[in-house]
Structure 1
Amino acid sequence: MTTRVIVDSRLCGFKTVVTVVKDGRSTKVKLESSCAKIRDYGECLPEVRKEDLYRAETSPVFSRAREAHLTPTCIVPVAVMNACWIENQLISKNLALSNKELKIIFEE
């Protein structure tokens, strides 16, 4: 199975496609992005182990984001984590597809 997530970061103007594929106890991660920092992040995050999906503070999904100097507001690492959760059946793929998107809504 393959999971694809499209990230449209309207605040910074960059788009990213996250593609993950489960391979045993690890999940292969591929990032295609118009952002150079995200491309660097993708190079240093080629895969994630299943045990790395349960704790944000110890997960390479977030530690590699810091190493790649992503801003704390970048939503790509969260998209990577969600895609990995879907691929590892920790989130229902049908539920994700039926909801289609996650949103952050800014209000005054």
Structure 2
Amino acid sequence: MTTTFTITFERKCFSRITAELERNDQIRISIASTCPSAELLGKRINKIKKKDLLKPIHENPVCITASDMVCTACVIPLVIVNACWVETKLIPRSMFEQHSTITIKFES
């Protein structure tokens, strides 16, 4: 089974993050994005070990790799980790199926 999240910022960028658990407890990451940095991040991470998902943010390979590749405000590293957590059943899939859209609204 695979887990896919889609991120859309109105008229700015679009990204689709997919995580797929392999037999060796590694998760394959793929990113299709209008942002070249996000796509490169997916290629650079490529796979993550299940045990690495539980590491603190400053030791997490996704966050470490992303730190010099995408802007500070980018949500893609967080979405990668969440997709991996769902794929490995660390977060129940049903939680996202019931609430499939998360909205972040700017209020001035």
Aligned amino acid, residue 17 of structure 1: R
- 1:87-102 correspondence runs (5 A): 87-102=87-102
* Matched residue, 2:63: 62
CA distance in 1, matches of 2:13, 2:52: 27
Aligned amino acid, residue 48 of structure 2: V
* Matched residue, 1:17: 16
- 1:26-105 correspondence runs (5 A): 26-54=26-54, 55-68=56-69, 70-105=70-105
CA RMSD after TM alignment: 1.4
Aligned amino acid, residue 102 of structure 1: I
- Relative to the length of structure 1, the TM-score reads 0.90
Structure 2 gaps, min length 5 = none
CA distance in 2, matches of 1:63, 1:82: 16
The number of residues matched between the two structures is 106
CA distance in 2, matches of 1:78, 1:99: 17
Query: Structure 1 vs Structure 2: percent identity of aligned residues?
Result: 24
CA distance in 1, matches of 2:68, 2:47: 16
SS at match of 1:81: helix
SS at match of 1:105: coil
Structure 1 gaps, min length 5 = none
CA shift at 1:67, angstroms? 2.8
Are 2:6 and 1:6 equivalent residues in the alignment?
A: yes
- Relative to the length of structure 2, the TM-score reads 0.90
Instruction: Flag the 1:9–1:78 CA change in 2: closer, same or farther, 3 A.
Output: farther
CA shift at 1:66, angstroms? 1.4
